[in-house]
Amino acid sequence: MVLTLARLLTCVTVGVASVTPVHAGAADLKARSIEAYDKHAATATRDFVARAQKLATAPRCDGVMTARAGSGDGILTVPDGLIHHWVGTAFVKGATLRQVSAVARDYPSYAKVYESVRSARVISQQGDDYEVLIRLKEGVGSITAVLDVRSAVKYRPAGSSAIVATSQSEEIRQVENDGRPDEKILPAGRDDGYLWRAHTFTYFVEQEGGVFVVMETLGLSRRFPFGTAWFIEPIARRLGRKSVEGSLGEFLTAIRRTAGLPAVRSSCN
């Protein structure tokens, strides 16, 4: 679902852009970076449902339960790039699968629900297949990244009480001078390298008393600036984990509001 795509991009943009102390400069996407990312994404896609079903057997509490690295320590080095891989779980007490799916598909409301989403719209829809365009903005200090992300999203049933949503970016373009008369959209892959590729996988399963959510995110970015990775990477990992937790919290808040459920803390920790 695009919810998880937006959350993925939040994680990666925060993890890369906002920890860079100075403007990073151009970092064109290389073919060998794409090859490494595609290989990792293919494995993650193939095994996601099995991983999610295993996670969905964990003890539940009402809120965000876990936010952790999906592979290794969450940031994997590949030729001329970094893969960001995170996973989070949550439980929404009192919600139904229908309610959760409706919130996930309500793209026009994303800008009201998610802090990093400037705008979101459906380009086309055929049944449970969507093409969507989301504009995201993230920044800390003097670094701000604005990205237009066009993605293909598919919702599929997984038995009688579960849905699997997959989202794959088709094009990511960096926006300069967002909202100004001189706004400029850079060519895909020829930018500052905040985010070049993105996948998200989400598993919703209705259980006794509510809905269990497993969200997994993948992103490809440039490497951190030479000479700074030793202190930036630990910060990026912490930010990535917190972003997963915060993003799931925003989603749960929207579900509770839509379903008329009482508000609770967003994290069980």
Per residue in 232-262, pLDDT tens?
Answer: 455 455 556 667 788 888 999 999 999 999 8
- Please tell me the predicted confidence (pLDDT) of residue 195: 86
* Strand residue runs (E) in 63-195: 63-69, 75-78, 81-93, 117-126, 129-140, 143-157, 162-176, 184-185
> Per-residue confidence at 269, pLDDT binned at 50, 70, 90?
low
Q: What is the pLDDT of residue 219?
A: 87
Q: Which residue has the higher pLDDT, 142 or 182?
A: 182
Domains and CATH numbers, the chain: 2-19+61-178+185-259 (3.30.530.20)
Place of tokens 């852009």: 17
Reported for 98-103, long-range contacts at CB under 8 A and 24+ positions apart, including other chains, are 99/211, 99/255, 99/258, 99/259, 100/204, 100/211, 100/213, 100/255, 101/155, 101/163, 101/204, 102/258, 103/3, 103/251, 103/254, 103/255, 103/258
Q: What percent of the chain has pLDDT over 70?
A: 80
Is the distance from CB of 24 to CB of 193 less than 8 angstroms? Answer: yes
pLDDT of residue 55: 94
- Measured between alpha carbons, how far is 269 from 267 in angstroms, rounded to an integer? 5
Interval 138-150 mean pLDDT? 77
Q: What is the DSSP letter of 160?
A: S
* Lowest mean pLDDT across 11-15, 33-37, 165-169: 11-15
Distance CA 60, CA 241 (A): 19
Copy the structure tokens of residue 126. 């055929």
Task: Render pLDDT for 191-236 as a digit per residue (tens, 0 to 9).
Answer: 888 889 999 899 999 999 999 999 998 888 887 665 444 444 554 5
- Residues 137-151, mean pLDDT to the nearest whole number: 79
Q: Which residue has the higher pLDDT, 36 or 74?
A: 36
What is the torsional sign of CA 39, 53, 200, 87?
negative
For residues 4 and 108, the answer to whether their CB atoms sit within 8 Å is: no
Strand 117-126, strand 197-207: pairing: unpaired
Whole-angstrom Cα distance, residue 170 to residue 99?
28
- Give the Å distances, CA to CA, from 6 to 62, 70, 127, 201, 264: 23, 17, 21, 12, 23
